[in-house]
Amino acid sequence: MTKKQELEQELDETHKRFISLVELIPESEYSLPSSNPAWTVGDILFHITLGPRALALEVWMTLHARGLYQLAMRYFPSRMFNRLNAWFGNRKRRISRQGLLKAYGQAHTAIKSRLRRVREEDLVKSVVYPVDYVSDLAGEVSVERLFRYVKGHFEAHEAELRFVLSSERRNDR
């Protein structure tokens, strides 16, 4: 199996796991607080849908505009990145199961499309992420690692949501 085939399988499995997670959480629980006081459970679910699309852009930047991307990461302060991330994640409109599934489906299509356009030898190309930019991606990050981060990003938030919801359900007893 090639690395690209392995990555495609990982992306498909992550997509299925997202669907399962969304189907597990009743919409009535989307308004519950998360461990991040600024975000609800629904906000975090929506935030997860942004990951694959953002990473598809980051892969493109790494391969086709590496110097510009490095410059932007060096001079675009992490606090601005975090504000932008919060703005996208903190939706004031209603978040629905159907909307989440549609958003992640579109993001999944975008990241798989990017993977199809990447050559096997491109997977080792890399950029350096500043330590304070995205802590999970600090240091030298290859294109392969960006694709793998779709799963890592999902798993980090999935664990958080499962903990928050199990705590909430225990408190309801």
Q: Whole domain around residue 41: which residue ranges?
A: 3-24+36-172
pLDDT, residue 10, reads 98
pTM here?
0.87
- Is 30 a domain residue? no
In a domain, 74, yes or no: yes
Number of structural domains (the chain) is 1
Residue 122 lies in a domain: yes
90, pLDDT greater than 90: no
DSSP string, 35-54: SSTT-BHHHHHHHHHHHHHH
DSSP summary character for residue 118: S
**pLDDT single digits (tens) 114-140:** 999 999 999 999 999 887 777 788 899
10 inside domain: yes
74 versus 18: which is more confidently predicted?
18
Q: Residue 108 maps to which CATH number?
A: 1.20.120
Q: Is residue 29 part of a domain?
A: no
Reported confidence tier of residue 32, pLDDT bands at 50, 70, 90: very high
Does residue 31 form part of some domain? no
Q: Which two tokens stand for residue 96?
A: 């629905």
Q: Is residue 99 part of a domain?
A: yes
Q: Does the structure show a pLDDT above 90 at 87?
A: no
Q: Which residues of 92-118 are buried (b: 16+ CB within 10 A; e: fewer)?
A: eeebebebbbebbeebbebbbebbeeb
